[in-house]
Amino acid sequence: MYQCPDFHSHSRASDGQLTPAELVSRAADYGVDALALTDHDTLAGLPEARARARDLGLELVPGIELSVQWDNREIHVLGLWLDEDNPVLRARVASQMDARRERARRIGDRLDRAAGLTGSYHKACALADSDAPGRPWFARMLISEGKARDNQHAFNRFLKKGQSAYVSTPWCTLEQGVADLLAAGAVPVLAHPLAYNMTRKRLRQLVGAFRDAGGLALEALMPGLTPAQGALLEECWRHFGLAVSGGSDFHSPEQKWLRLGGLPPYPKDAVPVWAARDLASARQAADNPRP
């Protein structure tokens, strides 16, 4: 159905560097014919992205990347082809953004003490043009203030788990997040499964829990996978009967090692993520029967 899709990308509406319109334009330049904008816990960039996609003749897939909790860990779940006006999803997004704002304020307070700064929260907000900046924006603020050499140094010194400015967030559960995405007619996709640095056994437990919660697809096609990594992800989607999705997780042109749409081909015998849309619609209809 698609020649060059990319079902995972970010704009300045969350922690990407490009505006939604700039992101869509860049995708078109690279030959992408379907782009999912999946900003973290927000739908704010979709109208601008959709308008630019319409001008360029590119399909804009409305999406989101929800942060959820599973076994005391933060896990990310994509929702693709969602109904952004769905009241259940809207309520979840509002709740997630409230949690992000509170986390950002607490990170700012901790950085003021740990890094000897003043107004860390407001400076990060100014950089992000948002009142709920994520950790990458705090990293950029630390670099601009001369407190970190680069993004990795900022995380290692202040922002990663176990460091002085790390703040955990009470996200919704995996089951709640998947249910809310299904209520909005979305295809729930377990994002970047290898990013959680789990053992094979633990990863299979996560994928199984995701499937049991109603998840429909696994993000198994990403740039730079080794043969062993690809084989592990194939084992997971085959064993648990999940559709296959692919995305670059693009954030910035500074990521020289990846490009929008630069993904491995879909396996010929896999169910591609777009084919799972009918199943998502069927589940939505079953959960919301007409009176």
Q: Are residues 80 and 23 in the same domain?
A: yes
Work out the average pLDDT over 150-154.
Answer: 94
Instruction: Report residue 3 as tokens.
Output: 């020649």
* Separation of first and last alpha carbons in the chain: 35
Report the pLDDT value the prediction gives residue 83, as an integer from 0 to 100.
97
Q: Are residues 120 and 256 in the same domain?
A: no
Asked, for residue 166, whether it belongs to a domain, the answer is: no
pLDDT band at 288 (very low <50, low <70, confident <90, very high): low
Q: Are residues 113 and 137 in the same domain?
A: yes
Residue 111: CATH number of its domain: 1.10.150
Q: Are residues 202 and 88 in the same domain?
A: yes
Q: Are residues 9 and 132 in the same domain?
A: no
Report the pLDDT value the prediction gives residue 291, as an integer from 0 to 100.
54
- Does residue 174 surpass a pLDDT of 70? yes
Host domain of residue 155: 101-159
What pTM was estimated for this model as a whole?
0.91
Closest CA to 114 of 87, 148, 70: 148
Q: Is 161 exposed, middle or buried (0-12, 13-18, 19+ CB in 10 A)?
A: exposed
Asked, for residue 167, whether it belongs to a domain, the answer is: no
Rounded CA separation 289/291 (Å): 6
Asked, for residue 165, whether it belongs to a domain, the answer is: no
Q: Are residues 176 and 33 in the same domain?
A: yes
pLDDT digits (tens, 9 = 90+) for 9-32: 999 999 999 999 999 999 999 999
pLDDT band at 1 (very low <50, low <70, confident <90, very high): confident
pLDDT digits (tens, 9 = 90+) for 184-223: 999 999 999 999 999 999 999 999 999 999 999 999 999 9
Q: Are residues 186 and 272 in the same domain?
A: yes
pLDDT digits (tens, 9 = 90+) for 47-60: 999 999 999 999 99
Asked, for residue 210, whether it belongs to a domain, the answer is: yes
Q: Are residues 270 and 197 in the same domain?
A: yes
Q: Is 120 helix (H, G, I), strand (E, B) or coil?
A: helix
